[in-house]
Chain A
Amino acid sequence: MTRDEDVLRQVLEAEAAKVEVRPDALAAIRARTARRWRWLPFGAIAFTAATATAATLVVVALAARPAPDHTAPDPGAVTAPATTPTPAPTPPATSAPPAAPPASRSSTSSGTASASLAVYYVGEDRGEPRLYREFHRLPAGSSPAEKARAAVTEMLAQESADDPDYTSAWPSGTRVLDVSVEGAGATVLLSAAPPDDLAGQQLAWTVAAALGGDPEVRVVVGGREVAKLRKAAALDTLGALWLIEPQHGTTVARTFEVHAAGTVFEATARLTVRKGRTVVTEKTVTLSAGPPARGEARITLTLAPGTYVLELYAFSAADGSVQHLDDHTVTVR
């Protein structure tokens, strides 16, 4: 045994020693984190003290990755379509490219049993935790219970959100043991109870997206029911402005569509495209409906190859401050 262990150590050591890293790695990381400094020049102008909003604005950035068989209805996000009809910037799921996958972390595999499922994460909107949604391509069967299980498993996986601004309210190590569906409700067997309401809402919205409608979600831990969950009101729960496409971390073609949805004052949002600290372009985005309805908008951008940060936000009616920002880093090839 000791001898086996030594051999394994040697092999691992030798195998690891073959790996060299790219010389520009730190610069690449810095380029991606630099966007967190965007508020320094910007905020000096835009931020004033008051934070009262007249409107709720939600920008959702969703997957640029194709979602051809996406079937998760998401009644809470009424303006987000169930499918993304934009020309897919990444190869279609059926082509199963063996090499050089797009930069997107969740590159698609050839289309056997996988589905693009909505997973809810926690982001910050004006200092308040709110739910944001990503679509992840996950291995899942076709039944609602299997889809719900796949989506909840992904939600509980540590750091599974594509957008580094999104986190989970669930402690790491929580596992889903089973999901069953009875009628309009679902029972989820977990290894631990939701630590707080926010975690419960993350679960309720994720399960509801997989099943459709507004199911009652029973949480069972160790044979005991510990919670009965329902989606809370969208306005109090979801991030106000959602940038649906392109999703964080994806690679898109030079001409691509930006898809936004939300409920904002005068149905007006703003899109700023930055490269490093330079503003490349700014656009006013007029959503199809104003409060209390949720409007949406699609605009087409053409950018030179490079890495950009797309920021979608709204101005406060009270004081003109920037609100409800959702931003995604996107590579144009």
Chain B
Amino acid sequence: MTPTVEGWAADEAVTHLFAAHYRPLVRLATLLLHDSGRAEEIVQDAYVALHGHWRRLRDADKALAYLRASVVNRSRSALRHRQVVDRHLALARPVPDAPSAEAGALDALRHDAVVAALRALPTRQREALVLRYYLDLSEADIAATMGCSRGAVKSHTSRGMAALRETLERSS
């Protein structure tokens, strides 16, 4: 980021960090939540909180780590609140998204199967996989973002991959 970061007022910080990270963070939250409207609210909440904490952060890298952790945490909390409702709706709900033209080498059905399998994972396994394979974060960064140990990240990741393996292999 720019060398003048430390001189940013909270407002400037939000503006810069918005331009650089808002869209990816909304996409991250959407992958975790499967609800882009809610994802966007959560990311906005995270930026508002960042604004309040800027005095203590004063560093673009720390701020990004803060935003990421905040988004993951808020998504987790939103999911928890939604779970009961979802259980009731799960059977009635149609396939969530229209097939995407951007699915590339995968055909739409296989893409949807993987997305559905990901969605069925326990929250922390999904978090670990998304942070690793979507954001390409290191194990240490994933641990910091999720608020757990690196050992826990390893175990969430490998369990998540094991659960997805059958679906993935059918898709490849």
Contacts and interface: CB of A to CB of B under 8 A. Distances in A.
A26 B15 contact: yes
A11 B115 CA distance: 7
B31 interface: yes
Contact of B114 (A11, A32, A103, A109): A11
B35 to A, nearest CB: 10
A36 B10 contact: yes
Interface residues of B, number: 65
Interface string A226-267: 000000000000000000000001000000000000000000
Contact of A30 (B14, B28, B88, B118): B14
A8 B49 contact: no
A284 interface: no
Given A11-B114, A12-B134, A110-B88, A158 B70 contact: yes
A137 B81 CA distance: 8
A7 B161 CA distance: 11
B69 A172 contact: yes
B80 A139 contact: yes
B10 A33 contact: yes
Interface in B39-87: 39-42, 44-49, 51-53, 69-70, 73-74, 77-78, 80-85
Give the residue among B38, B102, B148 with the most A Cβ atoms within 10 A: B102
Contact of B73 (A7, A101, A139, A159): A159
Interface of B: 10-11, 14-15, 18, 22-23, 26-28, 30-31, 36, 38-42, 44-49, 51-53, 69-70, 73-74, 77-78, 80-85, 88-89, 97, 100, 102-106, 111, 114-115, 118, 129-130, 133-134, 147-148, 161, 164-165, 168-169, 171-172
14 contacts: A8-B114, A8-B164, A14-B103, A16-B27, A17-B100, A18-B100, A22-B40, A25-B44, A33-B10, A109-B85, A164-B48, A164-B52, A165-B52, A172-B69
